[in-house]
A and B are shown apart, each in its own frame.
Chain A
Amino acid sequence: MAGILSYGAYIPYYRLPRNVISKAWGQRGGSGEKAVANYDEDSITMSVAAGIDCLKGTDPKTVDALFMATTTAPYKERQNSTIVATALDLRRETRNADFANCLRAGTIAMLSANDAVNANSVKNVLVTAADMRMGGASGENEQAFGDGSAALLLGHGKVAVEIEGSYTLSDDLADNWRAHDDIFVRSWEDRFGLDEGYMKIPVEAASGVMKKYNLAPKDFAKACFYGPHGRRHSDLGRKMGFDAEQIQGPLLDMVGNTGAALPLMVLVAALEEATAGDRILLVSYGNGSDAIVLRVTGEIENIRNRRGIKNHLGIKRTLDSYERYLRWRGMVSLEAAARPERPPTSMSALWREHNTAIPLYGVKCKKCGTPQMFYNLDSTRSRICIECKAKDEFEPYRFADKGGKIVTFSQDYLSLSQDPPNTLTVVDFEGGGRGSFEMTDRDPAECKVGMPVEMTFRKMFFDRGIHNYFWKCKPARD
């Protein structure tokens, strides 16, 4: 039986308190906070972050496929999952797939992965689910939505969680939707969505799966399911027949509704506390409902060292400026800085760089052993060793997973940045090698020569239809 071999998750560093949003609009209330992705993050970068967490202890070259689930893919024509797979250093011979356009995309990807593994088409699949949905300013969706991601590695063998079975209903009920041009999620009045959709269909799916496998609510240690709001979420749990202790906290209060990622993020939170023998019900919702029955095995103890949900909940900084959020999301037209326009990005040059720049590979000189990363400002491929000057005598050397220390830094207020100042750094890596990177997810005041950093996959800029991805450094916080 196929199952889950490993899990991972990611919650962005910044949290915007809901009352800060309310205050900006002269509205009352707003409790808790929502996780907001930085200006340099998107569903691709968050999928990479969760993927890195999940692949701890697994050689990425042994992964046969990456299924990426999201409703907020950066590209409509260009395979988003392969960008994620390249960053995670998967092989070329992989069955990658984008799962999109539905809030159930995460569980749909999970079920498809399960089928693929059970059919022996592939030996394993890395499933990622990420979302960065946007609500129009001053609205309820803006308050409720949050950003985040989760990842599951499905395969055979010593699985930590068995996938026992599932039941799916597909319904074209559009309580929330976005058409091809829409940036903000559209919602019909919420009474309709609740009465006909959320409070009905997941109940049918849950009871459907329980009937199919002869199970009752009492057979489950935890119920992990999607929810738009905290109160509705607990109402639904009760309606499904679960007690309060069985209902896994939906993260809505302190992270927000993370869309297609939410069911898998809630599942990861449950797995972090689960023990052998626990049966878990996973229910997603969005144009129907998937209900999946899972059973935890003793192997769960061997995959405890993930950042997952718990660790990320504690690593955070309050974003106390709604204006800054608007700036990050491009929701206001800013006055252009009097700085030169970027020269156009070259797709052919990016292709030449993609095997090194995207997974962050440099080289190690076979003659003198010096690790090195950059050739020049535009290239991560080297020809002449910086140390011994040997030509073309290199072996590949990955820098993405190495920690580093800050050699020097500056806060640059003049260079083009979406969120000034630009924190410039030079990083010396453990094991050798040096590179120059922007620092992200930081308060400029915390920069110090010698501080430890880790590498993170981010979007450098969007220009003329191209999302330019590369790596930045961020302070090591755990």
Chain B
Amino acid sequence: MPGSIKDRVAVVGMGCTKFGERWDAGAGDLLVEAAFEAFEDAGIEPKDIQAAWVGTSRGTTGMTLSEPLRLPTIPVTRVENACATASEAFRNGCYAVAAGIYDMVLAIGVEKLKDSGVSGTGGGPSSAGHLLQAVQSGPGAFALLATSYFARYGLNVDEGKHMLARVSWKSHKNGASNRNAHFQKEISLDMILNAPIIAWPLGLYDCCGVTDGSAAAIITTPEIAKKMRKDPVYVKALQIATSPRDGKYSTKYDYTHVEATVRAAQAAYREADITKPREEISMAEVHDCFSISEAVIMEDLGFSPRGKARDDIESGFFDIDGKLPVQPDGGLKSFGHPIGASGLRMIYEMYLQLQGKADKVLNAGMPSRQIDSPRLGLTHNLGFGPEGPVAFVGILGLEGA
């Protein structure tokens, strides 16, 4: 029977770069920015790090990190798990500290997507190149979820697209307050609904940004954490679920939910002793690679009843001033999605909110982004396609939560 990570490790410092089309920075530059902001926040120096995990879907070996930072021949592992890569780096770092092998580690994620010269993200994940099936883009893979969700729950095209638009509208509004976000602009529902189609029924504003960025966390034991600061953030749950990828080959998959998210969430709630997520989770950063993804995730995480996410979305339940704010920093949608960094960027937002420091990245002149006394924050990732993804669910909170 697997054990629990709850309250066995704590985060004492975090950093996050400005996300966007960072023409000024290569992967190394981004890693330096994020790592040093984390060192400063934790009040440590690079030489205090005993081991590190670097997440990126590009690059090779742990030297992806040790080279730009000139780390002194310490153990560094490069990890990859699609869009859950940074969360995976975080998870590995946490387990190393919980196992008692190290007591000060760095988990960092980075992605430099904008040197590729292509629209959207990379081509099919085929290793051999003789891709036999339909070549799906990222939007195409998730658009299949939208078509069947509309059909199953009786939404006509207008109703369905309005639900999706409301998701993106809310995220852009939040991102406009965040000076690290890729897109810092409110976008009207009208603009979203009338945007060009990328993969029907998803339009331009149903798709997250293709972005460069990096985010980092310093992880230590609770004992050391309490000596370093009065508000360390504790890890309550870490769960990865990798799918057997049979959704496209088995008639049993209904294309209206994502099983890996459901399983990762159930395991995370068990690990963190949560029985009523809709009530007990104060805020969440989930994997809104596409607006339909977020809608379905609300049901898969147990925030909304199955088939009923639309009611909560349209009523503002997930808005920043709603009962369960989702994507308070703008989400993948407007903060952007550097694949190897996103998991840690989400943890960064939960970290700031829990410490009452969300307005540290507030855009001048914008109203406060701070959620009132949050208890537990949930982060979630989903990589590849709904029919066969890697999913991550993590839960963070202050001491005693």
Contacts and interface: CB of A to CB of B under 8 A. Distances in A.
Interface of A: 337-346, 349-350, 353, 357, 370, 372-374, 376-378, 380, 386-387, 407-417, 421-426, 428, 432-438, 444, 449, 460, 463, 468, 470, 472
Contacts of A414: 119-120, 137-140, 198-199
Given A410-B147, A435-B248, A438-B134, 16 more contacts: A340-B116, A340-B122, A343-B126, A374-B248, A378-B131, A410-B140, A410-B143, A414-B137, A415-B137, A421-B200, A424-B144, A425-B134, A426-B144, A434-B250, A436-B133, A436-B387
26 contacts: A340-B118, A342-B129, A343-B128, A346-B129, A349-B129, A372-B250, A374-B133, A378-B127, A386-B246, A408-B148, A409-B144, A410-B200, A412-B143, A413-B196, A413-B199, A414-B138, A414-B198, A422-B140, A424-B140, A424-B144, A424-B199, A426-B387, A433-B249, A435-B133, A435-B248, A438-B133
A339 B134 contact: no
Nearest to A356: B132
A177 B138 CA distance: 47
A470 B201 CA distance: 27
Nearest to B145: A408
A412 B139 contact: yes
Contacts of B197: 411, 413
Contacts of A380: 132
B136 A386 contact: no
A449 B248 contact: no
A470 B132 contact: yes
Nearest to A340: B123
A372 to B, nearest CB: 5
B130 A339 contact: no
Contacts, number: 168
Interface of B: 116-120, 122-141, 143-148, 151, 196-202, 244-246, 248-253, 255, 387
A353 B137 contact: no
A343 B138 CA distance: 17
Given A346-B128, A435-B249, A424 B134 contact: yes
A353 B249 contact: no
Residue of A339, A378, A410, A423 contacting most chain B CB atoms (<10 Å): A410
B351 to A, nearest CB: 34
A341 B132 CA distance: 16
B135 A345 contact: no
Contacts of B135: 415-417, 422, 438
A372 B118 contact: no
Residue of B146, B151, B249 contacting most chain A CB atoms (<10 Å): B249
A408 B246 CA distance: 15
A240 to B, nearest CB: 49
A436 B248 contact: yes
B106 to A, nearest CB: 31
Contact of B250 (A346, A387, A470, A472): A387
B249 A386 contact: yes
Contact of A432 (B117, B146, B248, B251): B251
Contact of B124 (A377, A434, A470, A472): A377
